[in-house]
Amino acid sequence: MNRRYLLPLALVVLVFTSGCAGFFGSGSVSDDRLDEEPPAPYVWDNDVNAHITLTENARFQAVYRLNRSSIELFRRDGFGGRNAIPISAVRYRYPNGTVITGTELRARGGAVDRSRSRVSITLPSGAEGGKLAFTSDSTPKRFSLPAFVNGSYAVVLPPNRRVDVFPFGKVNPGDYDVEADGDRRIIRWASVETDSVSVQFYLQRDLYIFGGAAAVLAVVCAAGLFYYKRRIDELRRQREELGLDVDTEDDEFRDDPPPGMG
């Protein structure tokens, strides 16, 4: 092969193989992301197995009680597959209250590894029974995530969000309670045994905007109907003035029986 083609070919192969390694392979979450400060303090002192706080900037902070040595974090895509979720500000609190960062978790023999399909977190030996916390991204006005642990759940909505009015608000699974905490609402489940938890919520003002838009649309429709009714009435009057309306009550097509049959 001509030597002038060898270098471009080698570069193409290098880019392709490195890209495949990043897409299909695995690696570690960076120390900076692991030890990043969470947007707000984690709610360690809660009485549920999963406590999730949603923020106004489409993020969430999760605290899970772990009774096992590892957990896999992912989202399901629309084709039945899994995609790793981006995590940061990883913390683990031992049953005695000691809190360690993600890098400290690694230093004690644990692991935080990421692949294309999941983030795997392994606790240090003998650390079961504590709580794992992390921060990740969500979507505006909707939270959905697999149920990584079973049992009791609490999802704290951002300020002034609600789920009461369908179809703007939807909660799955059912059999939940909603309680007020200042300007926030907390959705609670005594026990979650389903594969996922999802909450669709709305701002209070969204209802007013929708109601105003519906009212404007109703007025426009009523005005349109009134206009067309007037036009039809005007056309009818014009036909009558021109003598175009014909009385057909006694024409040859009346419904009398044929001759000799009456």
Distance CA 110, CA 127 (A): 9
pLDDT in tens, 196-224: 999 999 997 655 554 444 444 555 565 56
Between the alpha carbon of residue 75 and those of residues 87, 122, 173, 195, 242, the distances in Å are 12, 19, 17, 11, 72
Say what percent of the chain tops pLDDT 90: 62
pLDDT, tens digit only, all 262 positions of the chain: 555 544 444 444 444 443 443 444 457 799 999 999 999 999 999 999 999 999 999 999 999 999 999 999 999 987 889 999 999 999 999 999 999 999 999 999 999 999 999 999 999 998 999 999 999 999 999 999 999 999 999 999 999 999 999 989 999 999 999 999 999 999 999 999 999 999 999 997 655 554 444 444 555 565 567 667 677 877 777 777 777 665 545 555 555 566 666 5
Is pTM beyond 0.85 here? no
**In one letter, which amino acid is 77?**
D
Q: How many helices (H) and strands (E) does the chain have?
A: 4, 18
Between the alpha carbon of residue 143 and those of residues 163, 192, 222, the distances in Å are 12, 16, 39
